[in-house]
A = this chain, B = another copy of it.
Amino acid sequence: MSDKLSFLVFGAGSVGSVFGWRIQVGGGNVSVVCRSNYEAVKKSGLNINSDQHGKHIFTPNNVYSSAKEAVANGEEYDYVLVCTKVLPSYGDPAVALKPIIKSNKTSIILIQNGIGIEEPYAREFPGNPVIPAAAFLDSKQLKDGTIEHGNHARLTFGLYTDGVLERDEEYKKCGESALKAFDKILISGSVGSTIEEHLQRSRWFKLIFNASLNPISVLSGQYSANELVKNPGTRELVKKAMIEIIKAGEAVTGGPLDDKVPGSDLPDQFVKYTETRTTTIIPSMLQDYMNKKPMEHEVILKIPIEKAKAAGVEVPILETLYELLVMNEKKNLQ
Contacts and interface: CB of A to CB of B under 8 A. Distances in A.
Interface of A: 216, 219-223, 231, 233-234, 236-237, 240-241, 316-317, 319-324, 326-328, 330-332
A306 to B, nearest CB: 13
A331 B233 contact: no
Contacts of A328: 220-221
Contact of A231 (B241, B316, B327): B327
B320 A321 contact: yes
B320 A223 contact: no
Indicate how many identical chains form the complex. 2
Nearest to A232: B323
B240 A327 contact: no
Contact of A319 (B219, B237, B327): B237
B330 A237 contact: no
Contacts of A330: 221
Contacts of A324: 216, 219-221, 237, 324
Contacts of A231: 327
Contacts of A331: 221-223
A320 B323 contact: no
Contacts of A220: 323-324, 327-328
A221 B327 CA distance: 7
